[in-house]
Amino acid sequence: MKSNYIKEILKEYEQIRKKNEQALALRRKEVYEKIPRLKIIDAELASVGAGIARIALSGNSDSASALERLRAHVDSIRREKAFLLTEDNFPLSYMELQYDCEVCRDTGFDSSGARCNCFKQKLISKAYRMSNIEDALKTENFETFNLDLFSDKPYAEEKLTPRQNISQNLSICESFTLNFGNPREKNLILYGQPGLGKTFLCNCIAKALIDKGHIVVYQTSFRILEILEKHKFSREKDLAVEMAYELLFDADLLIIDDLGTEMTNAFTNSELFNILNSRLLSSKKTVISTNLSPLDISQVYSHRISSRINAYYTPLEFFGRDLRLVSQSKKHR
């Protein structure tokens, strides 16, 4: 199972590299058409580069001064190239290969030959079937969060307007990602009715930390329970399940989405406690999103769970009108 994933992932890297090379070829073509001189410069750079390598290898006594001359020549045509590009408003990086991951240059392995974090994250995404979330992460992140969607009118008995409240929640989530390495930074619990931006903010957090190279597991509590059950009760060990199980404890960040939608019983209570508590003990961060209020949690889950959440989680309340309904009614107007 796992080796299949690895094969698939290596194939993905190949496609990413191909995609970026094709994009570079297109950019090159565009630039050469606009600035024909650059094509000559690039050809020259390539041939001078080969010349430098030849001379350096030959090791002749007079090669030092020849090398110096060639290098000076390279410098001068590189400067001309940079000048021509910027004069036509192309960024200098326009003619360079771009990487999705700068660390491993889309090979999956860093300079020491170890698996890059982006490789580990891809593996996790497969084990957790998180690819749906990967798509959401492209569009839902701190840069695209839109405060204007939230009403700036008073709401029910609340002291803050929904917009003031969400903007406060947003900045707490942002500082959570900025202080992620600090063991004293509390975990987060986002609670409130559906359609108020909880999942969006979870995606923002996940995206910011994945981009920094952290290992993030994002899963609904329903699916987490499925993994726990399979781990505990399957007679045959499934590698993917075992890996998913271990990551509940080992991931730098675990996001438990929709806590409270799973079946709660003695088994789920003790397993959930085990995960939350182990993560607290090893200073690994957890973010929970739920429709349950803190009071509901104390009634649905064991005292051990709710007291841990009360002590070690910053509660972020979400209130206001369901955004999905608001945007629908706007569409119909």
Residues near Zn ion, by CB under 5 A:
101, 103-104, 116, 118
User: What's the token pair of residue 3?
Assistant: 């080796």
> In terms of CB distance, is 116 or 201 closer to Zn ion?
116
Q: How many CB atoms lie within 10 A of CB 74?
A: 16
Question: In the structure encoding, which two tokens stand for residue 174, read together?
Answer: 């942002």
Closest CA to 129 of 226, 249, 199: 226
Q: How far is the CB of 118 from Zn ion (least distance, A)?
A: 3
Start-end of H helices in 213-320: 221-233, 239-250, 266-281, 294-300, 303-312
Residue 48 CA to residue 70 CA, distance in Å, equals 7
Q: Least separation, in Å, of the C-beta of 131 and Zn ion?
A: 18
Minimum CB distance to Zn ion smaller for 118 or for 248: 118
CB of 215 to Zn ion, least distance (A): 12
Shortest Å, Cβ 107 to Zn ion: 8
Q: Name the residue nearer to Zn ion (CB basis): 116 or 240.
A: 116
Strands 313-318 and 187-192: what pairing? parallel
User: What is the C-alpha R_g of the chain?
Assistant: 27
Measured from the CB atom, is 60 or 111 closer to Zn ion?
Answer: 111
CB of 214 to Zn ion, least distance (A): 13
CB of 115 to Zn ion, least distance (A): 9
CB of 101 or CB of 287, closer to Zn ion: 101
**Of 224, 226, 234, 207, whose CA–CA distance to 288 is shortest?**
224
Query: What is the arrangement of strands in the sheet containing 216-220, beginning at the earlier edge strand?
Result: 216-220, 253-259, 285-290, 187-192, 313-318
Q: Among residues 120 and 284, whose Cβ is nearest to Zn ion?
A: 120
Contact (CB, 8 A) for 186 and 314: yes
Cβ-based nearer residue to Zn ion, 116 or 123: 116
Q: Report the C-alpha gap between 172 and 241 in whole angstroms.
A: 33
Rounded to a whole number of angstroms, the minimum distance from the CB of residue 101 to Zn ion is 3
